[in-house]
Chain A
Amino acid sequence: MSEITPETISHLANLARIALTEEEKELLATQLDAILDAVAKVGEVTTPDVPRTSHPVPLVNVFRNDEEVHTLDREAALGNAPDSDGTRFRVPAILGEE
């Protein structure tokens, strides 16, 4: 039985950079608790000898030649950005005042 509290949700929301409201945290704590109870059953059938699958179709050694193919036009790249100085993407200050 997982015990997801609104504090757990706060921590996760901080890691995921989502400014959830208190109501959202309450609701998500309840929902996540139920979902985790259901999905925890994956542990019932697994034994250490079962390998983990990350890719549905096994392939290895997929490489590209070291050749320049294209670059993205800077105007096109910056044109989609919320803010720029014409050459670089502009973002608000990274740290708050000390």
Chain B
Amino acid sequence: MSASELVFKSASELATLIRDKQVSSAEVTRAHLDRMAEVEGAIHAFLHVNEGAVDAAKAVDAKIASGEKISELAGVPVAIKDILCTVDMPSTAASRILEGWIPPYDATVVARSREAGLVPLGKTNLDEFAMGSSTEFSAYGPSRNPWDTDRIPGGSGGGSAAAVAAFEAPIAFGSDTGGSIRQPAAVTGSVGFKPTYGGASRFGAIALASSLDQVGPVSRNVLDAALFHDVFTGYDAKDSTSLNYNWPSMAEAARLGAKEGSLKGLRIGVVKELNGEGFQPGVKALFNELVELATAAGAEIVEVSAPHFDYATAAYYLILPAEASSNLAKYDAVRFGLRVAPNEAATIEEVMSATREAGFGPEVKRRIILGTYALSAGYYDAYYGSAQQVRTLIQRDFENAFAKADVLISPAAPTTAFKIGERVNDPMAMYLNDITTIPANMAGIPAGSIPMGLADEDGLPVGVQIMAGIKKDDLMYKVAATLEALLAEKHGGSVLDKAPRSYALKGGAK
């Protein structure tokens, strides 16, 4: 097999080849670095390329040669969303304020992936501090959708999704606060899951909104995501909100689901509020086809209503900015990061203000100001307090829904990938892009997106969201794997098989 073909293999295939010594991790890693060199000009998925990648791969090869059993994914390259701290690479959250910052620790999830023999390829692009749905708010220029480089790859984790969909990495780390794994997966035809809140450690993940953030896997198929999930999730004493729970293997659940070929006995809930107005016709059509497919495979389809989902986006855009305004206060030019002095005699207060003005982009400033307002004395009860109550109501909606259905499904995003520049100056239009994904974060439940086809009107990928109850991540993976198999059978292959593999250079990075 030629080196260039390696990049089109899945993570589990690569792992098998490496384990069977048909190819070395170093070769696989080099193939991906070559691919990055070839397509990055058009895609711009990465903010930083790991110079130590090949050495790290060789170290894994040496361990494998000595017979050491590392993990099922040993030797496989991985892309890391630049919201995660890495000791050997700058960790910037795509912000000017953290340009060049190298943390003294790895995020727990990154440390675990290294221990498992995964090879970091580099850091992927995102909207600054993960605030956005398009990567257009990255301080280092947007990433581009491999299906059409004039379009956004989703956000905030557009870099990770684009890297995977452009065959630059078989798997990638994402983080999901209101859909930042699932929406990019949907619009790039890739796969992404957000674990139950507390399933993956947040230690070393640069905080956006602490009560919503969750790290998860991005990949090209469900099994790869599940294998990767097993590598980095699990209890971490450094994160108080981490769940001390004996998680079953997600890979096992995914394998079981893929083998099953039937959904008999499964109650699938279709959320009425997540399939209505504002959804692109091609998205609705594919979703309806999927429901038919599931019915044909034996699933019992139940319509569930979640009346408070209509308030989820409003509550989210109060809770997130409030937490973020506080989490981002630490960027003050004292202990790390950028310092800008407006003049020589400036006081620390003036230096802090000038640094934050220069170091933060427009969306970050917008949300900090919004969050500051929402928490202010006099407005707290009407805004933040009410938003927390809505959160309770959304949780109750989910409880009721999961009493009737084992899993819930909906389109993962209301539309296919929009054009770069189309919504960047219209915050409300950008925010409404997250209506399908936000409820899961508000309730902490696991949710993922897998591709379900290409929209008729524009030929762009569309994702289906699968949601399960708290700690039911294994059920989510199992159902996702079954649906993936059914879809592949119906379409004669996966959505990504149809993805372009070379890209015209357009404009390049901003």
Given A24-B365, A54-B388, CB of A93 within 8 Å of CB of B241 = no
| Interface size band for B | 35 or more
B91, chain A: closest CB distance, angstroms: 11
| Known A16-B372, A91-B348, A93-B347: A52·B318 in contact at CB below 8 Å | no
Tell me whether B373 and A12 are in contact (CB under 8 A).
yes
Report A-chain residues with C-beta under 8 Å of the C-beta of B240: 59, 62
For B314, list chain A residues within 8 Å (CB).
38-42
Let me know if A16 and B369 touch, CB within 8 A.
yes
Q: How far is the CB of A25 from chain B (nearest CB, A)?
A: 9
Chain A positions within 8 Å of B311 at CB level: 41-42, 44-45
Tell me if A57 and B470 are in contact (CB < 8 A).
yes
Asked if A51 contacts B348 (CB within 8 A), the reply is no
Check if B197 sits within 8 Å of A40, measured CB to CB.
no
Instruction: Report if A43 contacts B (CB, 8 A).
Output: yes
Q: Contact string, B145-183, partner A, CB cutoff 8 A, digits 1/0?
A: 000000000000000000000000000000000000000
Contacts of A4 in B (CB 8 A): 373
Q: Is the CB of A9 within 8 A of B369?
A: yes
With an 8 A cutoff between CB atoms, is A94 at the interface?
A: yes
Minimum CB–CB distance for B206 against chain A, Å: 14
A-B contact count (CB 8 A): 179
A18-B365 in contact (CB<8A): yes
With contact pairs A93-B347, A94-B348 given, residues A55 and B241 touching in the complex (Cβ less than 8 Å)? yes
Given A18-B369, A19-B353, list of 12 further CB < 8 A pairs?
A12-B372, A15-B372, A18-B353, A18-B357, A38-B314, A45-B393, A46-B390, A56-B395, A57-B198, A80-B336, A81-B334, A94-B348
A20 touches B365 (CB 8 A): yes
Report the bound CA distance from A54 to B359 in whole Å.
30
The number of chain A residues touching the other chain, given as a range, is 35 or more
Interface of B is mostly: helix
Given the known inter-chain contacts A12-B372, A82-B339, A91-B348, please indicate yes or no for A19 contacting B392, CB distance below 8 A: no
Is B1 an interface residue, CB under 8 A from the partner? no
Q: Chain A residues with Cβ under 8 A from B388's Cβ?
A: 52-54
A29 to chain B, nearest CB (A): 10
Q: Write the chain A residue with the least CB distance to B325.
A: A16
A82 touches B333 (CB 8 A): yes
Q: From residue 330 to 366 of chain B, which have CB atoms closer than 8 A to chain A? A: 332-339, 341-342, 346-354, 356-357, 360, 362, 365-366
Please, which residue of chain A has its CB at the minimum distance from the CB of B102? A80
Measured in the bound complex, the distance between the Cα atoms of B444 and A22 in whole Å is 40
B243 CB-CB contact with A under 8 Å? yes
Q: Which of B386-406 contact A (CB under 8 A)?
A: 386-393, 395
Given contacts A45-B308, A80-B335, contact A20 B370 (CB under 8 A): no
In the complex, A46 Cα to B389 Cα: how many Å?
Answer: 6
A4 to B336, CA, bound (A): 33
Determine if B104 and A31 form an interchain contact, defined as CB atoms under 8 angstroms apart.
Answer: no
Task: Write out the residue numbers on chain A whose beta carbons fall within 8 Å of the beta carbon of B373.
Answer: 4, 8, 12, 32, 36
A77 vs B268: C-alpha distance when bound (angstroms)? 51
In the assembled complex, 9 residue pairs joining A and B whose CB atoms fall closer than 8 Å, in A order, are: A16-B372, A38-B428, A42-B311, A45-B393, A50-B392, A52-B385, A52-B391, A80-B337, A96-B347
Interchain CA distance A8-B317 in the complex, whole Å: 19
Q: Are B360 and A40 in contact, CB atoms less than 8 angstroms apart? A: no
On whether the beta carbons of A89 and B368 are closer than 8 Å, the reply is no
Q: Residue among B325, B351, B441 with the most chain A CB within 10 A?
A: B351
Q: Are B347 and A18 in contact (CB under 8 A)?
A: no
For the complex formed, measure the closest distance between the CB of B17 and the CB atoms of chain A, giving whole angstroms: 39
| A53 to B444 alpha-carbon distance, docked (Å) | 11
**What B residues does A45 contact at CB under 8 A?**
308, 311, 390, 393
Interface status of A92 (Cβ within 8 A of chain B): yes
B376: A residues at CB distance < 8 A: 12, 15
Interfacial chain A residues near B390, Cβ < 8 Å: 42, 45-46
Cβ contact of A40, chosen from B350, B365, B383, B385, cutoff 8 A = B383
